[in-house]
Structure 1
Amino acid sequence: MPPKTQPVNGAAIKNAIEGRDGKMLASFYADDALVRVIDRNNPPSKPREIRGRAAISTFWDDICSRAMTHKVDTTIADGDNLAFTQACAYPDGTKVFCAAMLELKDGQIARQTVVQAWDE
């Protein structure tokens, strides 16, 4: 289990995402966390589900290893819920937009739902 180095909050999420720090991002999740991704290839009736910190770590390592920029635009916190929007761009100009809702439990991310769209 990676050490928890800082609390999960908007600033920490922004720093880790914009810094492309997959290990830091993975450290924010509970061992049994669930990330659901909804997009063109994974519709609401059949979202992609990534279960457990190990699988989530692989997910973030993949995203953070890509040659692209990430910018967290808006973050809203309300109790044990945190939401943010993220704009990404590949070097060829392709853009991706993501809206994420996180449910926190005991200071870690227990559930996350991501809705994303990209240029085609």
Structure 2
Amino acid sequence: MLTKTGNVDGAAIKKAIEGRDGKLLSSFYTDDALVRVIDRNNPPSRPREIRGRAAISTFWDDICSRAMTHKVDTTVAEGNNLAFMQACAYPDGTKVYCAAMVELKNGRIARQTVVQAWDE
């Protein structure tokens, strides 16, 4: 949850991701936030870019609606930056691992970069 000051923190991220709560996750972002996803299909030279809270909400709703588990392993905060590691698993055993770096602005997520790897 957001603290009384409205700041996003590691505990809030962990609760929302592990609870598959896309609505809560979306509430953490600024209106003009940017999420960049880097993976096999979206290399660093052409990352997937998701712009604005509405598009980010659709992104999280899709992820949270999937039959899979999410576990946030580690969160680290320093100044206006928050990083976390996330391990996911589908019922068929396929695993996904993500590392995310978040830049906060006034306690909300303004920029996020996600690097993820999937079992193949």
TM above 0.5: yes
Structure 1: which 5+ residue stretches go unaligned? none
Q: Does 1:70 align with 2:70?
A: yes
Equivalent residue number for residue 57 of structure 1: 57
- Residue aligned with 1:113, SS: strand
TM-score, length of structure 1 as denominator length: 0.95
Q: Once the 2 structures are TM-superposed, how far is the Cα of residue 5 of structure 1 from its aligned partner?
A: 4.8
CA distance in 2, matches of 1:104, 1:110: 5
- Residue aligned with 1:46, SS: coil
CA distance in 1, matches of 2:61, 2:115: 19
Structure 2: which 5+ residue stretches go unaligned? none
Q: Once the 2 structures are TM-superposed, how far is the Cα of residue 54 of structure 1 from its aligned partner?
A: 0.1
CA distance in 2, matches of 1:17, 1:115: 16
Q: Does 1:18 align with 2:34?
A: no
Q: Once the 2 structures are TM-superposed, how far is the Cα of residue 20 of structure 1 from its aligned partner?
A: 0.1
- Residue aligned with 2:13, SS: helix
Q: What letter matches 1:102 in structure 2? A: V
TM-score, length of structure 2 as denominator length: 0.95
Aligned length: 117
Equivalent residue number for residue 84 of structure 2: 84
Q: What letter matches 1:109 in structure 2? A: I
Equivalent residue number for residue 111 of structure 2: 111
CA distance in 2, matches of 1:42, 1:118: 13
Equivalent residue number for residue 36 of structure 2: 36
Give CA deviations for 1:73-99 in whole Å, capped at 9, x if unaligned. 000000000000000000000000000
User: Does the CA contact (< 8 Å) of 2:104 and 2:110 recur in 1?
Assistant: yes
CA distance in 2, matches of 1:12, 1:106: 16
Give CA deviations for 1:37-87 in whole Å, capped at 9, x if unaligned. 000000000000000000000000000000000000000000000000000
Q: Once the 2 structures are TM-superposed, how far is the Cα of residue 35 of structure 1 from its aligned partner?
A: 0.1
CA RMSD across the alignment = 1.0
CA distance in 1, matches of 2:26, 2:109: 10
